[in-house]
Amino acid sequence: MNICDVQAQQAPMYCYCNNNGLQNATNANCWVMSKLERDDPMWGYFTLQIHLKELTFTVRQIDSLDYVPSQLLHQLKNLHTVIFQYAKFHEIVEHTFSNLVGIVKINLNRNMIVTLHKNAFENMRNLTDINLDENRISEINRYG
């Protein structure tokens, strides 16, 4: 199944891409409409769009996305920009974004983040822009 061409009426997520052809999209804007579990088969649909460079997740229903899909981000080797909006992350745990060396920009504004754990952004040598605006960050764990 192609993440850019989901037809199911009750799918938890719909993505609008700049090109719906297999392996052709470079930009996907995904709307999370209902609870999306870590093991949901929809995450596998991204394998048909491995050339994505920009990926946006906008959560439309509260509590629909409460984790960062790190495994997906690691699979998309051409990704340079990732955006999450209106999710409910509460914390960015250790190694969430680690070793995503192609990522240049991460936008995590408006995600109810309270805690940033150490090494959450470890070994991201090309990261030049990170946006954490409009969260509730009260704790940043810098040391072991």
Q: How far apart are CA 7 and CA 12, in angstroms?
A: 11
Q: Which sequence spans correspond to the domains of the chain?
A: 3-140
pLDDT at 143: 66
- The domain made up of 3-140 has a fold known as 3.80.10
Q: How confident is the model over 75-88, as a mean pLDDT?
A: 97
pLDDT at 31: 97
Buried b (16+ CB within 10 A) or exposed e, 49-65: beebbbbbbbbeeeebb
Q: How confident is the model over 99-128, as a mean pLDDT?
A: 96
Residues linked to residue 116 through DSSP beta bridges, in sequence order: 92, 140
The answer, yes or no, to whether residue 144 has pLDDT greater than 70, is no
